[in-house]
Structure 1
Amino acid sequence: MKNKSDLSVAIVGGGIGGAAAAVALHSKGIKANIYEQASDIRELGAGIGMRPPTVHFFKDWGIYEEIVQKSSISGYMAVLTAHGEVLVKEEWPVLTDNPKEDWARLIHRADLIETFFNQVPTENVHLKHRCKKVIEHEECVEIQFENGNRIEADLLIAADGIRSVVRQQIFSDVKPIYSGMHAYRTVLPEKEAFNLAPDDTFRVFVAESGSHVYLMPLPHRNQVSYDITVHSEDKSWKPVVSIEEILEHLQEFNPMFQKMADLAESFTCRAIYDIDPIDRWTSGRIALLGDAAHAMLHHRGQGANMAIQDGGVLAEAVMKADTIQEALKIYESLRKPINHEYQKLSRLTPNNKRGTAFPEKEILKF
């Protein structure tokens, strides 16, 4: 392998996973260029809960203090009925060797992606670059873009999402699978949450029909992240949903949820898809990362965590190994088993009959 500082790394996709990989590599002195199909960098959606194994990487990358300023700690997760009766309230499971790390750090997705891109030099971010074709040569990877540009790199990291062009061309033609559910997401001022999220607890309200509402407090912003997940036969990636339809879905819930929806300026509406596990993530000089490798449903809240951790482990493997091929073998061996388990777990929807907020405790043996 070349000197690590001389390696040319191309990252296709500028979402959370791709940006995290770029930050991880830059923190180790490895040049990484991001190629993003969009015309600007912005992250819609709402809040996410970052777990200690993820946050540990932020300390290594020198962004921990900035993350702390843009996030808050949650000690508990609760599952409630649609009208607010608490069924179970639990501390977050410990995922590290430190028994005191039973928490999640809550952050808005936009703040997280902004923090990552604050660390990546502007000249290393290339917008309007949609990947068209990938050719793996013995000494490099060739990437062709729809805008006519073409580059070569020593290593290609494919973080191009659930409909990954790189995965389809090189690894697997596995198709995204529709979950039968939509997610409608927004962020509201705390005062417009009607005291339904009064503390640092992450709450999931579950209706008998299987619809559910997530309320994630973002006190550092004086806001609450509001996620409504419901059944739908509409498989459109970005369904057009009226406020009247959203209000109809909320009839099973505490009437305050309808008032909250009425107050929202807008909702981000998405159909929820995942993929089945695939046999391999890496080839000589190409690695899949994040949703491109292991897209999962949002019910366990681990998709972003897994993508960030992928980036951290991959950067460490590149530093440790003598060849890119060896680095990618290390990366896949460390990341594939845990992601495979979380892919399965993510299909367990919140349930008002289950006696735990964290079914993963039984499977992963925390």
Structure 2
Amino acid sequence: MRAIVVGAGIGGLAATLSLRRAGHEVTLVEQTPRFTEVGAGIQLAPNATRVLRRLDLLDAVAAQAARPSHVSFRTWSDGAEICRYTLGREAEDEFGAPYLLLHRADLHQALAAAVPPGSVRLNTVVVGIDQDDESAYVTTASGERLGADLVVAADGIRSAARQWLFGADEAVFSKTAAYRALLPADQVADLDLPELAAWLGPGRHFVHYWVRRGELLNVVAVFGAEAAQESWTARAEPGEQLREFDGWDSRVLKVLERAGQVFRYGIYTRAPLARWNVGRVTLLGDSAHAMVPFQAQGAAQAILDAAVLGDALAGATPAEVPAGLDRYVRRRLSTATSVQTGSARAGEEFHLPDGPEAQARNARMAAYAAEHGFMPQATAWAVDVLDQQAPS
């Protein structure tokens, strides 16, 4: 079976590797002239790192990562700890794989290095996807028409393929934006920061954690906004982040003050779809289910998509591709949609105003941590996606 994967982000690379692992011939098409991955930190829970182990990439990725022992939730004004959830060796023993913190580029590089160069077509812009009963086709800007038995559209949150398949449908602004920055460890060594923490406040929250084996501190400061550009490279105005988080705990402000280059980006999502596939073409990752990052599951869900796609098409003949895609979507759509919903709900909870609602939230979190140890969403980390059966 021959497949074309459109888009060489994390989802597209993982899909390429998973389909190759399933025994299929894969061509990866990417519009940029070379593999690049912008962005900063990324969290990978055990549901995703378990897949990396199956792809024989976990050791390479883990070598570049930090491994937190826990995550600390704190109040915005004085940094008092609300609760902490276990993430270290206990979580790895419980869920069968580690929780890793890493630079997005390190994950991307490990995935890209595992794809044979002969399987990649860089600098190739896709301008159309179509199909007939026997094949699916990708049309490029140069006029080529590439045929295969399957096309996987992993072309991101601004997916053109999604519109080609399902009609006009734009990304939705979440009414939140974020500042992001990376700081060398020695610039914040005097602040005694938790290794992974989320500080919760009215209309805002602040997350920081180590990447690159603890050499860099990744910072994400989320706030409400009426409008914001969706860009990984737009820079904040000098001092803007300090004004936005005025009055917060001094450690938060010192981190924001010491950050050299601060980027500002709008957080966008996509509305849930009733299906992701049509015939021999399917969506994967952000093109199917872009979500707010407030449960740190965006990349993980794309990796899980890739794993289930490979499993659903293992041993499939060209004639069996549409049925295999149906199996893939049945196994992934409801879960990914649930994570979309849960991530949005988490943002609402994080941003509650001071008062009874925030106090009740803090009490719930502390009680849950005391009883269970792990985060509420950790129940999903134990599910082995390749052992799941598709619902009928």
Deviations 1:46-103 (A, max 9, x none): 2222111211112221112212211232232221112311112122599x99635595
Query: 2:178: which partner in 1?
Result: 183
Q: Using the TM superposition, give the Cα deviation of residue 320 of structure 1 relative to its aligned residue in structure 2, in angstroms.
A: 4.7
1:295 counterpart = 2:290: yes
Give, in whole Å, the separation in 2 of the partners of 1:147 and 1:255: 55
Give, in whole Å, the separation in 2 of the partners of 1:98 and 1:222: 26
Query: 1:341: which partner in 2?
Result: 338
Contact 2:49 2:99 in 1 (8 A): no
Identity of aligned residues (%): 26
Query: 1:16: which partner in 2?
Result: 10
Structure 1 residues 213 and 156: alpha-carbon distance in aligned structure 2, compared to 1, 3 A threshold: same
Q: Using the TM superposition, give the Cα deviation of residue 147 of structure 1 relative to its aligned residue in structure 2, in angstroms.
A: 3.6
Structure 1 residues 93 and 331: alpha-carbon distance in aligned structure 2, compared to 1, 3 A threshold: farther
| Residues 86-235 of structure 1 aligned to structure 2 (within 5 Å) | 86-92=81-87, 99=94, 101=96, 104-196=99-191, 198=193, 200=195, 202-208=196-202, 210-218=203-211, 220-235=213-228
Query: 1:41: which partner in 2?
Result: 35
Structure 1 residues 279 and 100: alpha-carbon distance in aligned structure 2, compared to 1, 3 A threshold: closer
Q: Using the TM superposition, give the Cα deviation of residue 156 of structure 1 relative to its aligned residue in structure 2, in angstroms.
A: 0.4
| Residues 352-363 of structure 1 aligned to structure 2 (within 5 Å) | 353=358, 354=361, 355-356=364-365, 358=375, 360=377
Give, in whole Å, the separation in 2 of the partners of 1:306 and 1:221: 25
The alignment of Structure 1 onto Structure 2 pairs a total of residues equal to 357
Greater fraction helix: 2
1:50 counterpart = 2:47: no
Q: Using the TM superposition, give the Cα deviation of residue 128 of structure 1 relative to its aligned residue in structure 2, in angstroms.
A: 2.4
- SS, match of residue 182 in structure 1: strand
TM superposition outliers: structure 1 runs of 4+ over 6 Å: 361-366
Contact 1:185 1:267 in 2 (8 A): yes
Q: Any unmatched runs of 5+ in structure 1? A: 1-6
Q: Using the TM superposition, give the Cα deviation of residue 364 of structure 1 relative to its aligned residue in structure 2, in angstroms.
A: 10
Contact 1:197 1:216 in 2 (8 A): no
Give, in whole Å, the separation in 2 of the partners of 1:107 and 1:363: 21
The TM-score, its normalising length taken from structure 2, stands at 0.83
Contact 1:45 1:186 in 2 (8 A): no
Q: Any unmatched runs of 5+ in structure 2? A: 353-357, 370-374, 384-392
1:304 counterpart = 2:299: yes
Structure 1 residues 168 and 216: alpha-carbon distance in aligned structure 2, compared to 1, 3 A threshold: same
Deviations 1:246-278 (A, max 9, x none): 221121322343433343332333210111210
Give, in whole Å, the separation in 2 of the partners of 1:317 and 1:196: 48
Give, in whole Å, the separation in 1 of the partners of 2:97 and 2:114: 28
- SS, match of residue 243 in structure 1: coil
Residue identity opposite 2:280 in structure 1: R
Give, in whole Å, the separation in 2 of the partners of 1:211 and 1:284: 43
| Residues 76-87 of structure 1 aligned to structure 2 (within 5 Å) | 76-82=70-76, 83-87=78-82
The TM-score, its normalising length taken from structure 1, stands at 0.89
- SS, match of residue 273 in structure 1: strand
Give, in whole Å, the separation in 2 of the partners of 1:121 and 1:100: 31
Give, in whole Å, the separation in 1 of the partners of 2:25 and 2:245: 48
